[in-house]
Amino acid sequence: MPVKDEVHAAHMDGALDAHTFAASRAATELGLKRGEFELAVHLGIVQVEAQPNGGRPRVRRVEIDRLRSEDGFPAALRERVRTVGTAEGARLMGISPVRFTRLARAGCVTPVAFYLNRYRAVVWLYLAQELGRLAARSPELLVGRSPAWMRSRLDAGTDCRPRNWRSRRIERLLTLNDDPWARAAVAAEALDPVQLAEVVDDPYERAYFVRVRPEPVFGHRGSQATREAMGRLMLADEPDEILWRRVNLLMELDSARELRQAPRPGEELRPAPAPLGRQAEPDEPTEPAALAKPMPPEPGALPVLVPMPPESAVLAVPMLPEPGALPVPVLPEPAVLPERAALAESSEPATQGTSTGLLTRLRLRRGRGKRRPQERPAQGAAPSTGSRPSGRNRRLPGPSGDARREDFEGGT
């Protein structure tokens, strides 16, 4: 890159940083804590911009100016993201914590977040503004006898808090993502692996869900136990909810397949390397090196020395006679003498070209010579200890099959 372009790019980056703020700086400008700021981004109260290079999202100055210009800033903004637990929520609604828990289990209020206490129990959090609106909208739920539908639901042991929190989270993630495959991955997050395999039988599509699944805006936070608890709470556990999630996944999957198919292994083939010395053209047909036509030398170019193949390779290929060349005389094979032919017929058949046939021929040639007389000790004389033949000096059977041998003790 030229120096002028580098200076221009650095100037543009500086201008971008001057008009945007990081998450920590934006939370300070808005008077919010880090957890409150992340909740505001999740609820869509604060708009952030994703960076093209995959960096952390930033907030534009105009967005901060818009929030700061609202009435009652910063108290009104903090009230919109304020969360309360069971005890404080009951105090805000003017009811007992037991009645508040019954309302939450029946599905009258929806949790917005949760955390794990020291006993690893899930503690649900609710938006304070939603609790105030519920108290103003349905005062009959706060006093007197509970409705029949609520009593029947509670008597059956139903707890709607995980389901409502799950639905709220999935709907918000679907709103924040426009890519059909990312939306299908969000819908698939509510099904366990068995249910997911029944709906999506293609393993490549299930693997593609993991790649395009949207991550939290500011990364995963909390302990490992919190992330595991979130993974369990994200799974649908009731038959009607499972059926609803399966139908939603099929609808999102159909839209994603119409846009593009999930990638398969080996679809992106690498181009073949071009031969050394020149680059291959895009439309140039490729041919094997053995069938490639030689390039004619350029005028005035030095001759190129072509290395000759080894002698073994040259002899292995039959050479065709050139037109007009004299024929090469073929010499007749030497005649076989009658004695050698008779000797070969009387010997044992040996495999041609093996070591066994060579040894047999050597034994035959040695057996034709004059054998030396064997010295035997006189009768009655004790054999000498030093003259005792050993097993390794035992004479082998001759080629004609005679079984002549010497005794190991020196006698016959």
Nearest residue to 161 via CA among 102, 89, 93: 102
* Host H or E run for residue 182: helix 180-188
CATH classification code of 82-159:
1.10.10
CA torsion, points 80, 85, 87, 91, in degrees to nearest 10? 10
Chain length of the chain? 412
- Judged on CB neighbours under 10 Å (0-12, 13-18, 19+), 95 is middle
Beta strands in 104-164 (DSSP E): 113-116, 122-127
Q: pLDDT per residue over 307-316, tens digit each?
A: 555 544 444 4
Q: pLDDT per residue over 248-293, tens digit each?
A: 999 999 999 999 999 988 765 444 444 444 444 444 444 444 444 5
Q: Which residue has the tokens 């390397």?
A: 273
CA 360/CA 367 separation, integer angstroms: 10
Q: What average pLDDT does the structure give for the chain? A: 75
The pLDDT of residue 353 is 45
CA 64/CA 69 separation, integer angstroms: 9
CA 80/CA 349 separation, integer angstroms: 106
Structural domain spans, the chain: 3-79, 82-159, 160-262
For residue 160, name the pLDDT band (cuts at 50, 70, 90). Answer: very high
